[in-house]
Amino acid sequence: MKVERVINNNVISVIQPDGSELVVMGKGIGFKKKTGDEVEKERIEKIFSLENKQTSENFKMLLREVPMDLMDVVEEIIHYAKNILGKKLNENIYVSLTDHINFAMERHKIGAEIKNALLWEIKQLYKEEFSVGLKALEHIKEKFQIELPEDEAGFIAIHIINAEMNEDVANTMNITKFIQQIINIVKYHFNVEFKEESLNYFRFITHLKFFAQRVFNGTHYENNDDYLYIMVKQKHKEAAMCTEKIKSFIKKEYNHDLTNEEMLYLTIHIERVVNR
């Protein structure tokens, strides 16, 4: 294994025989090294393999600015998240989460905290991801003796959700707000409080996540057969009326027209979450 590029004293990159690049970390592994030198294997502490070239470049640039201790913590958080959630995370989380936590700690040191305007929604809609965020704060406190506020657990949760859904952070925040707006319409229409631990509520939220993605990406379910929607609308009239309210709201606020196919699935999920 030979050095391809020295990023700093503790980080280098190497090229594998198949042409792919690895980012290798270890204390002093890049000290006085140059391209073509043999890598001291006994100094290797961590190896990262990022498939996306731009993500890999961003990661290498970031590693010039952040301490190795922080990368240890971020890797622990990501590993914990994958185990708890049982989901694949977009590799860009190594860049986005590292950058966010590094900046959050810098802000904390000078007393410049940022409030998370969607903290309540994140707690309600993404309980597992938020629990990972809280665990991340414990890791940070233990490693750096820095106690970040609960708002940061919400921000960390958003980065994890972003990695699950392959969205950027701004879009994930918009999606979170959108989901809460739809939930409120349903709650006020039926004058109900949901059983948030129920399977049907979980299904409803999952449907809304992907529904919101389509709204913000301007895509649709497409189906020219309206027969099933007409049947469901007749059978579940109140849920269908609620869906019509949602349709009007989305058109007004987001300038997005719902297809009958989308209204069909939305009506079915509303009927389930309200009446089962």
Question: Can you give the pLDDT at residue 180?
Answer: 94
What angle do helix axes 169-190 and 199-217 make, rounded to 10 degrees? 130
Question: Can you give the pLDDT at residue 155?
Answer: 93
Q: Tally the residues of the chain.
A: 276
pLDDT digits (tens, 9 = 90+) for 143-198: 999 999 999 999 999 999 988 887 778 888 899 999 999 999 999 999 999 888 78
pTM, two decimal places: 0.72
68-166 and 184-275 in the same fold: yes
Q: How far apart are CA 217 and CA 211, in angstroms?
A: 10
pLDDT lower than 70: segments of the chain = 221-225, 276
Q: H helices within 86-168, ranges in order?
A: 93-109, 119-125, 127-144, 150-165
Question: Can you give the pLDDT at residue 188?
Answer: 96
Helix, strand and coil in the chain, % to nearest 5: 65, 10, 30
Question: Can you give the pLDDT at residue 17?
Answer: 77
Q: How far separated are the first and last CA of the chain, in Å rounded?
A: 60
CATH topology of domain 3-51: Transcription Regulation, Sacy; Chain A (2.30.24)
List the chain domain ranges: 3-51, 68-166, 184-275
Answer whether CATH 3.40.50.2300 is correct for domain 184-275: no
CATH no. of 68-166: 1.10.1790.10
10 contacts 68 by C-beta, under 8 angstroms: yes
